[in-house]
Amino acid sequence: MSKRTRVIILDGQNLVHRYESMQGKSRWAPASLVFNHLFWIFEKLQPDLVITAWEGLKSRDPRKKLFEAYKSDRDRLRKKEKKVRINSKKLAQWVQQHLMFNFPLHQIKEDFLEADDVISQIVEYINNTDKYDAVIVSTDKDFHQLVGSRVAVYNPITKKILTEQNLRELYGIRNLQNVAWLKAIMGDDSDSIPGIKGIGLKTAQKLLHPIVNSEAVWEAQEVTNLLSKKKEIDEDALKVYWEIIQLQWPINVKAAAKLRQKIEWAFSNLPKYNEKKLVEVYAQAHIYRDIKKEFIQRKLLILSEFMLKQRRGKECREQS
């Protein structure tokens, strides 16, 4: 069997959030850090295809309809730090429209879907074929539930790749898709999901013992039946928390259908690459002002070699 295509799935929203408030904390502006990170991905992770996921318009609406407090803590923080919020929006727009637009990668987003949803649908596409292996680049732990035999997560802060075996040991669970049930009962501060008060990982593992040891994906009714004797657990609330956290089933079916067309297109077509425009962006953003021009030229060579590999890979896939 031919070698599988290595796909890097980049969480664009997560990337921007990591650098949005670093103005004044680094000798490079946030834009420079994003620029450097992208080059690092092409150079070190050796991808055959790179896809970046973004949030669409009204991306939180479907989950807020289920649970009004969804990400409310994050929203309050951003209101207090108005300058950071404005900088984040500007940085995200600049990265999408200028920087990544000229890199040899695909960018995908869809209204009413968050970046997590986009990545989940990309992973589903990969799992339905036998051509691809994928690495999701993000610090977001929600992606742990998507990891499998052909999908891993790379944490750019810890510099570790998390595999199916790593995460099975971490959560003590056989089927990682059921991690969403563990998180629903434990809660998730980053998304303002309260969970069940006073329950941590060990207690959750005991309560959900059949799930932890099952290879099957558990449904809501099975879980509520399992926990029905626990009077202090609000089963309806728990089901809502799970619906918000889980990524296997699209939170918005119509939006997901539109998204799948974009994903299929990205896997079937070469990305655009405009080296001249990228160099202009590099100059306009004053990136690496203290680094020699030869440095950026060496980096651009990496992108040229990547595009050559892309063309050869596309030809092989068309012939097979």
Residue-wise pLDDT for 117-162, tens only, equals 999 999 999 999 888 999 999 999 999 999 999 999 999 999 999 9
| pLDDT greater at residue 41 or residue 84 | 41
Mean pLDDT of 172-197: 91
Each domain of the chain, given as residue ranges in start order, spans: 5-168+250-307, 171-245
Nearest-angstrom CA–CA distance, 18 and 87: 12
Instruction: Check if the beta carbon of residue 126 is closer than 8 Å to that of residue 132.
Output: yes
pLDDT beyond 80 at 231:
no
Confidence of residue 197 (pLDDT cuts 50, 70, 90): confident
A 10 A CB-CB count for 87 gives 18
Nearest-angstrom CA–CA distance, 197 and 233: 9
pLDDT beyond 70 at 27:
no
CATH topology (fold) of 5-168+250-307: Rossmann fold (3.40.50)
Please give the full DSSP string across 291-310, using - where no structure is assigned: S-HHHHHHHHHHHHHHHHHH
pLDDT beyond 90 at 53:
yes
Angle at 83 (CA atoms; ends 81, 88), nearest 5 degrees: 100
In the prediction, which pLDDT does 167 show? Answer: 96
| pLDDT greater at residue 245 or residue 291 | 245
CA distances for 173 relative to 137, 191, 215, 231, angstroms: 22, 22, 9, 25
CATH homologous superfamily for 171-245? 5' to 3' exonuclease, C-terminal subdomain (1.10.150.20)
In the prediction, which pLDDT does 259 show? Answer: 97
| pLDDT greater at residue 85 or residue 32 | 32
Mean pLDDT of 193-219: 91
Judged by average pLDDT, the poorest of 29-33, 188-192, 218-222 is 29-33
In the prediction, which pLDDT does 264 show? Answer: 96
Q: What is the Rg, in whole angstroms, of the alpha carbon atoms belonging to the chain? A: 21
Mean pLDDT of 291-319: 80
- Crossing angle of helices 235-245 and 220-227, in 10° steps, is 140
Confidence of residue 1 (pLDDT cuts 50, 70, 90): very low
Mean pLDDT of 280-298: 70
pLDDT beyond 60 at 77:
no
| pLDDT greater at residue 116 or residue 190 | 116
Task: Give the global pTM.
Answer: 0.90
In the prediction, which pLDDT does 243 show? Answer: 93
What proportion of the chain, given as a percentage, has pLDDT over 70?
88
Burial 146-163 (b: 16+ CB within 10 A, else e): bbbebbbbbbbeeeeebe
